Structure 1
Amino acid sequence: MNFAPVDWVIVVTYLAASLAIGLAGRKYVGSTAHFLVAGRELGTWIGVATLAATEIGTITFMYNSELGYRYGFAALSAALISGVVMIFVGRTGFVIRRLRELRLMTVPEYFEVKYSRGLRILTGLLVALGGILNMGVFLKIEGEFLTVTSGLNSRYLIPTMIAILLLELIYTTVGGMVSVVITDYLQYVLLSVATIIITLYAVHFAGWHTMVDRVEKLMGPSGFNPIVAPKFGFSFLVWQILLWFAIHTCWQTTAMRMFATRSPEVSKRVMTWTGFIFLGRGMLPMLWGIAALVLFGHGPMSNGVPQAVVQGRVMAPIDAMPAMLSQILGTGIRGIVVAGMLAATMSVNSSYLLGWSAVISQDVIAPLRRVSGKAPLGDKGELFVNRVCNACVGLFLIFWGLYYTPPGAVYLYLNITGTIFLAGAFVCVVGGLYWRRANVAGGYLAMLMGAIGAIVPFFVLHRSESFSGFASFGLATAGLLVGSLIGSRSKRTIAEVKL
């Protein structure tokens, strides 16, 4: 056990405070709009804090550090792309400004506004599928961080992570977006402190020049140049640019923050400032991974990467960073860092639970009720359905998330599962907003071909993530173009839509 009593006191105190603060948000929830988009009252700085906390979790630090461990400084290209694209979207208002003007609550809702109710239901199903599969690996990876860093016996991994998920589920189900935003602010402060501490310790103990020398010796030019890196290359960079444009505009949890802002102009400012945080979100954990490679990367080679050896025990690359923290952090500091990481975990998981359950309730169940001729549920009924969906998603994650192990680098797995719906959704949203000819036939083809382009090459033919992602966006674009050109013209433009 690496934890001293003071470390446990810090962690338990934080968890209790988060639950109490989250439950306090219940009294502000009076409607579905409050539950899902916090009444659309977020200002710039609260918006930045909640968006950053939503998209920076333990899983984020784990997969980015693994990417640094496996591919060296070449991995920084992915982080650079994510931040620069986000700043561009924020400065220009590309897509997000127009979506915010429509006062939406979910991304698939736009598909009924522009295309058809049937396409909204299909999109909702694909968004829920891709999102839940994406989130499915979170618990296990986050649990590995906690057990490796604290020294907790691995047999306690499952009950510990179930307990944490249940805490998140309780306040998210009760208070919705209001509780998530309130807790996000506290969690953002803690994870920021943890990020700074880890970076200082990692670079100090590994040494900057030693990190550069180690990558050069093990990987040569491919450790610095993403074009020649074996898992990267030109197609990877193009896919990453397209993917991050799609994430920053159509990823449900990100979009919900834009929908919760006071105005389109506020959404642009939130996106712009968060973009600078996103640069550090990826680059700093990648440096931690390189530091772990220096300290522990002396094991047998596996796929061209040395496995980590910690006190005679061989560990997978993704566990190298938490193993490093268990060795270099002192008593008290270790507790603060783990509390910060749990803050990141709770922030991401609560937001994702709300995001995917909102899609199921608002974009699958509610439209199907209208198709069958049933009366609307009203605010109380919709709140109940949202809370039930939230609980069901959480229960699924307990059984799926703790047992499924993704193949290869976790970052690439998360990218490809997100692409299942992001390729088609991004193409349809951009086409609908900026191309008058986009129609229902094109929308259906884009969503279906985008999903096929991600699923078949990767899961069936076992092609690389880069190839599958590139194919998904290409097929989705072709589907929208072909379907829209051969089908009937759309009868309304987005400027003519009034919700």
Structure 2
Amino acid sequence: MTSLDWIVALTPVILVFLVGLYCRKYVRSVADFMSGGRVADRYLLSIAGGELQAGAVVFVAVFEVFSHSGYALGWWGWLSGPVGLIVSISGFVIYRYRETRALTLAQFFELRYSKGFRLFTGGLAFFAGILNFGIIPAVGARCLAYFWGMPEHVTLLGVTAPTYVFLMALFLSISLFVALSGGLVTIIIINCLEGIVAQLFYIVIILALLALFNWNEIVSVLSARPVGQSFLNPFDTHAVKDFNIGYVLMGLVVTIYGTMAWQNAAGYQSAALTPHEARMGNVLSRWREMGKGAVITLMAVCAMTFLNHPHFAAGAASVNEAVGQISDPKVQDQMRMPIAVGQLLPMGIKGVLCAIFLMGVFGGDATHLHSWGSIFVQDVLVPLRKKPFGPRQHLFVLRCSIIGVALFAFLFGALYRQVDYIVMWWSVTTAIYVGGVGAAIIGGLYWKKGTAAGAWAALFAGSTLSVGGIIARQMNPHFPLNGVQISFSVTFISILLYVVVSLLTNKGDFNMDRLLHRGAYAIAEDPKTTGDAPSQAKRHWLSRLIGIDENFSKGDKWTAGLLFAWSLCFTLLFIVGTTWNYLSPWPKTVWPSFWHVVGFGFPVFFAIVTGIWFTWGGVRGIGRFFTHLGGERVNHLDDGTVRDHRNLDERG
């Protein structure tokens, strides 16, 4: 890192944090601290929420997957495209959840099931969440330590320890400051500003990489693979063990089943101005991910080319020397590509990527700290108290809990030795909670016959089997099921138990109108829609299929419809291409040209377009956010307390 790199890396970070500090004065209630006053618009939600997936650990995880599967895995991913979009466009789960006005998912569980279920799920979510989060600060700190070329161990104040431990302490301290200063108000604004800056920086990185590498060099490296492990031909991947078509299909089922179940960004899920804004935030995030995904994939293929092409042999030797100084073989595998990226980027551009890493670390870690710390207070402490916290006392306890999560993450990251891929660890720790509650969420929001007994049965089965899977993987690295396979099995069993036990124990239908504030239970001052006045005309069959309803303005329909059409084109390409290849396989020379256009050209185009589009939308969203916050009416009873299946602030 040169002086120019450090200036480029630190300047946007400092500017973003100065603006974030300004936001603290807008926190006047628990609802502000927890959910940003529930006044965020679609662009603010999509950009800020996307920064949770922009930290160094996410780059490392994607590098890890790409280094084992290449472009070939993307072919099978097109099978799931339209399904995921229908989930987003229809507002599956997120729309009805926002209608409940719950601050946390477990608060919804008390509204729908019982206080006991809220307590247990709150504690379980907290336990699974801090385990899942535990490796994130450590991996992010390791990535930046090796990216900066630091030694594996350093001595500071007479204490010798791995370098990443000191960096992890520094990064967690900064993230903790962000989370404590203004809760979600500060976090969502900082993440949005970071996202705007990162989008523009992505374009700079793309241009630099295109100048450094040509497609012929990349293809020569990607083509040099053993039979059955192709990075280009998806029909020559039978020897790839973990990241294959089974990984994609099982991951799709688990993702739909666990929609909104994972609470690492709990505040965002209740922060939308209206249920429709929450839905459109999810739709817009799909557009934005197209651009961001292009940068990560491009860096991965360029790093692999740098490591394996004869033209870059001297640089590769330097990388291998640095990797050889790492004692842990698993860490060696994880850090090889980040070290390569750090060495291949020219002066100035390295600082640009460093800024993206740092902003992602601070924004992502602050979001995790806020979410898991808040869940412990809201879903464990609050339900146990007969007398609700006072507003100032409540905010103080929330901040103390967030500090506790940071301390745990530091100790866990310093002591735990990782034995699995990052994405596999995330899959299995997520399943501890999601494996059981997915059925309780979907059944609770959409099925009036679902019962607390059914929810308990699904929860116990899902949690027990998932924990057993973690233990089995730790005790036996050669355990036949990987993290995704364990999650898929748990999902199927939990759904079956929820349905069967609910039917056996149902004694009467639940009042869904009261839960969702519809009909006689509607709240007059709660905004319902935004944008153009919706049309009440009868919906087209295609609109019904993909979930477009009367709340969609003309612009919303274009945004969602074009996204669905784009995804559908790739699914049709998948169907035609798969059929064609099974009948008459394409020549090997076709695949490099195919991925040059589809996996390289299209994503780069979207990175540039979305960078400009979301910069405008993000600035507008921030302005609207402060306007709504300045005019909101503070209600200190809106603190997550539930009495007799109703939120405390709604009881007349």
My pick for the range that moved more, 346-355 or 122-131, is 122-131
Letter in 2 for 1:310: V
Spell out, residue by residue over 1:187-233, the C-alpha distance to the aligned partner (whole angstroms, 9 max, x if none): 11232234334444445545434434433432545434387331134
Partners of 1:287 and 1:82 lie apart in 2 by 22
Q: Is the 8 A contact 2:449 2:510 kept in 1?
A: no
1:449 has 2:461 as partner: yes
Partners of 1:145 and 1:84 lie apart in 2 by 34
Letter in 2 for 1:195: Y
1:159 has 2:170 as partner: no
Q: Quote the residue 1:495 is aligned against.
A: 513
- When residues 395 and 496 of structure 1 are mapped into structure 2, their CA distance, relative to the original with a 3 A threshold, is same
Partners of 2:417 and 2:79 lie apart in 1 by 27
1:478 has 2:496 as partner: yes
Spell out, residue by residue over 1:224-282, the C-alpha distance to the aligned partner (whole angstroms, 9 max, x if none): 43873311345422321123225542222445323111101111111101012234444
Q: Quote the residue 1:93 is aligned against.
A: 91
1:331 has 2:347 as partner: yes
Question: Between Structure 1 and Structure 2, which shows a larger proportion of helix residues?
Answer: 1
Q: Is the 8 A contact 1:80 1:279 kept in 2?
A: no
Q: Quote the residue 1:390 is aligned against.
A: 402
Letter in 1 for 2:434: L
1:341 has 2:357 as partner: yes
- When residues 8 and 283 of structure 1 are mapped into structure 2, their CA distance, relative to the original with a 3 A threshold, is closer
Spell out, residue by residue over 1:9-39, the C-alpha distance to the aligned partner (whole angstroms, 9 max, x if none): 3334444334433332221111110001100
The count of corresponding residues between Structure 1 and Structure 2 is 486
Partners of 1:101 and 1:11 lie apart in 2 by 41
Which of 415, 440, 443 is 2:427 aligned to?
415
Partners of 2:10 and 2:191 lie apart in 1 by 18
- When residues 340 and 234 of structure 1 are mapped into structure 2, their CA distance, relative to the original with a 3 A threshold, is closer
Partners of 2:418 and 2:80 lie apart in 1 by 22
Partners of 1:207 and 1:292 lie apart in 2 by 13
Letter in 2 for 1:423: G
Alignment of 1:200-219 (within 5 A): 200-202=207-209, 204-219=211-226
Q: Is the 8 A contact 1:427 1:480 kept in 2?
A: yes
Q: Quote the residue 2:650 is aligned against.
A: none
Partners of 1:220 and 1:284 lie apart in 2 by 28
% identity of equivalent residues: 25
Partners of 2:333 and 2:73 lie apart in 1 by 14
Which of 181, 189, 193 is 1:186 aligned to?
193
Partners of 2:393 and 2:115 lie apart in 1 by 21
Letter in 1 for 2:253: L
Spell out, residue by residue over 1:390-415, the C-alpha distance to the aligned partner (whole angstroms, 9 max, x if none): 11001111111233232232122112
- When residues 113 and 313 of structure 1 are mapped into structure 2, their CA distance, relative to the original with a 3 A threshold, is same
- CA deviation after TM superposition for structure 1 residue 297, in Å: 4.8
- When residues 25 and 308 of structure 1 are mapped into structure 2, their CA distance, relative to the original with a 3 A threshold, is farther
- CA deviation after TM superposition for structure 1 residue 378, in Å: 2.6
- When residues 162 and 72 of structure 1 are mapped into structure 2, their CA distance, relative to the original with a 3 A threshold, is same
1:312 has 2:310 as partner: no
Q: Is the 8 A contact 1:25 1:178 kept in 2?
A: yes
Partners of 1:257 and 1:289 lie apart in 2 by 30
- CA deviation after TM superposition for structure 1 residue 134, in Å: 1.2
Letter in 2 for 1:343: M
Q: Quote the residue 2:303 is aligned against.
A: 292
Spell out, residue by residue over 1:261-312, the C-alpha distance to the aligned partner (whole angstroms, 9 max, x if none): 11011111111010122344445424432332232259xxxxxxxx997153
- When residues 268 and 176 of structure 1 are mapped into structure 2, their CA distance, relative to the original with a 3 A threshold, is same
Q: Is the 8 A contact 1:46 1:185 kept in 2?
A: yes
Q: Quote the residue 1:29 is aligned against.
A: 27
- CA deviation after TM superposition for structure 1 residue 388, in Å: 0.7
My pick for the range that moved more, 52-61 or 84-93, is 84-93
Q: Quote the residue 1:243 is aligned against.
A: 254
Rg larger for: 2
Q: Is the 8 A contact 1:67 1:75 kept in 2?
A: no
Q: Secondary structure at the match of 1:250?
A: coil
